[in-house]
């Protein structure tokens, strides 16, 4: 199996060396870039398996780098982990909303960093390539083509929006999504709806799923995830 290539976007040379050393010991190949502009070009030419992204960079900042990569066909599915000193709740929510898959604050434990990266790689490997492919998780089977949800063989009747919310969350168990990310995925970025409408859909879903409603977990201050 070929080594996984990680693109590290970080302007601090000491952190570059620290991260590269620990990831190298785990068998990853690390390419380090100090600016967002250079890193975007590298990602376009040699698609990485994962991107580690600092927020405070010379030139364009990490948030704009993330938006750019998420907006391009070739790079939009590459996992992005933000590695930054900006650890306030609002910073974390903003990072997730622009498309980050995970958020790690400095100072950090190299062991934790490696574990989080390994976990994301496993999730990516399990992720279906086809958005219309069947999802089987826990005791639930979700079939997008038939717009059907069954739990232990019993069909669950959902509205269109409830089905789309459930499908979006269940496709990546354990991943946390903000309300705005859920809105964007279900209705598109131009759909005029408030974040709180997502809460209404979640309440409806949990009620219809009955004792299995706890599959959908609330992450305080951030949003929701489907139980891993």
Fold of the 135-226 domain: Arc Repressor Mutant, subunit A (1.10.10)
Full-model pTM? 0.63
In this prediction, residue 187 carries a pLDDT of 63
CB 202 within 8 A of CB 216: yes
* Domain-wise residue ranges, the chain: 5-126, 135-226
Domain 5-126 listed as CATH 3.30.365.10:
no
- Please give the full DSSP string across 97-145, using - where no structure is assigned: HTT-SEEEESS--HHHHHHHHHHHHHHHHHS-S-TTS-EEETTEEEETT
* Cβ 11 vs Cβ 35: under 8 Å: yes
Half-sphere exposure of 1 (CA within 13 A, CB side): 5
| pLDDT at site 190 | 43
Question: Rounded to whole angstroms, how far apart are CA atoms 42 and 40?
Answer: 5
Please, what are the averages of pLDDT over each run of 10 residues along the chain (228 residues)?
Answer: 85 94 94 95 93 92 92 85 84 81 88 89 65 82 86 87 89 89 68 68 91 93 90
Residue 1 pLDDT: 47
Question: Are 227 and 214 in contact, with CB atoms under 8 Å apart?
Answer: yes
The verdict on whether omega for the bond into residue 107 sits within 30 degrees of 0, i.e. cis, is yes
Distance separating alpha carbons of residues 210 and 154, to the nearest angstrom: 12
pLDDT at 192: 46
User: What is the predicted pLDDT for the residue at 132?
Assistant: 62
Q: How far apart are CA 63 and CA 37, in angstroms?
A: 12
Adjacent-strand bridge partners of 56: none
């Amino acid at each position: 199996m070929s080594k996984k290539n990680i693109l590290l976007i970080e302007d601090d040379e000491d952190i570059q060396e620290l991260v590269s050393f620990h990831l190298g010991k785990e068998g990853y190949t690390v390419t380090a870039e100090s600016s967002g502009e250079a890193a975007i070009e590298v990602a376009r030419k040699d698609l990485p398996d994962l991107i580690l992204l600092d927020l405070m960079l010379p030139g364009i900042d990490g948030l704009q780098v993330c938006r750019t990569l998420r907006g391009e066909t070739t790079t939009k599915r590459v996992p992005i982990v933000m590695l930054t000193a900006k650890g306030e709740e609002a910073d974390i929510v903003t990072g997730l909303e622009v498309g980050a898959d995970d958020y790690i604050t400095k100072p950090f434990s190299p062991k934790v960093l490696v574990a989080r990266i390994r976990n994301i790689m496993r999730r990516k490997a399990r992720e279906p390539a086809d958005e219309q492919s069947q999802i089987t998780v826990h005791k639930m089977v979700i079939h997008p083509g038939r717009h059907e949800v069954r739990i232990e063989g019993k069909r669950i009747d959902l509205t269109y929006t409830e089905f789309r919310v459930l499908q979006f969350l269940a496709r990546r168990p354990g991943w946390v999504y903000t309300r705005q990310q859920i809105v964007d995925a279900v209705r598109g970025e131009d759909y005029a709806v408030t974040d709180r409408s997502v809460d209404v859909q979640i309440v409806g879903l949990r009620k219809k799923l009955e004792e299995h409603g706890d599959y959908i977990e609330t992450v305080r201050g951030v949003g929701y995830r489907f139980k891993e």
